[in-house]
Amino acid sequence: MRSDSENGFTFIEVLVSLLIISLVGMVLYASFSAGFRGIEKSKAEMRTAVRRLQTDSIIRSAAGSVRIPYWITEYEITAAGETLEFPWYDGEKEIKTVRLPSGVVIDKSELVRKDGEAPFGIRITYKIGKREYTTSAAFGSFPAGKVKL
């Protein structure tokens, strides 16, 4: 038996307090868990964005270095996997191979030109993961006149 002079908690009071503490703990765990999942998703999206910007920069830089002589009307870019091959890179007839960042897969490459004229740029469609992107870039030299890329 308990006298009025004894201080302490009953067994039921201790159980109720443990229940409340465990509920608060579960809510905190769920909140932190969701927060960390969101952070990981953001990191993955950021890595994809960086890879996208690197790829875009590489394609534009390479295309900007292509200088096709004005008398050349037949021009071809070879695209396979993660590489692009550009003839007339820096005005030289030799082919320059450009490697894109890992995880980037080229889907399609096409020349941008007006009907029957020499090409003045490229349009590359590529995938990073499941998403598809397109970059259009002008060559370093192209036919005179109005050119719309």
47 falls within a domain: yes
Number of domain units in the chain: 1
Q: What is the pLDDT of residue 2?
A: 56
Residue 87 placed within a domain: yes
Note whether residue 48 is domain-resident.
Answer: yes
In a domain, 18, yes or no: no
Please report the pLDDT score of residue 88 as a whole number: 87
| Residue 80 belongs to domain spanning | 40-138
pLDDT of residue 74: 78
Judge residue 142's burial from the number of C-beta atoms within 10 Å of its C-beta, 0-12 exposed, 13-18 middle, 19 or more buried.
buried
CA distance 111 to 23: 62
- Which pLDDT score is estimated for 94? 86
Burial of 59 (0-12, 13-18, 19+ CB in 10 A): buried
Question: Looking at residue 91, what is its pLDDT?
Answer: 83
Residue 88: exposed, middle, or buried by beta-carbon count in 10 A (0-12, 13-18, 19+)?
buried
pLDDT at 3: 59
Q: Where are the alpha helices (DSSP H) in the chain?
A: 11-64
pTM to 2 decimals?
0.73
Give pLDDT tens digits along the chain (149 positions): 555 557 888 999 999 999 999 999 999 999 999 999 999 999 999 999 999 999 999 999 999 998 888 777 778 888 888 999 988 888 888 889 999 998 899 999 998 887 777 788 899 999 998 999 999 999 887 655 444 55
| SS3 (DSSP) at 3 | coil
Residue 144 within a domain: no
Task: Report the distance separating Cα 39 and Cα 41, nearest Å.
Answer: 5
> How far apart are alpha carbons 37 and 66 in whole angstroms?
44
Q: How many residues does the chain have?
A: 149
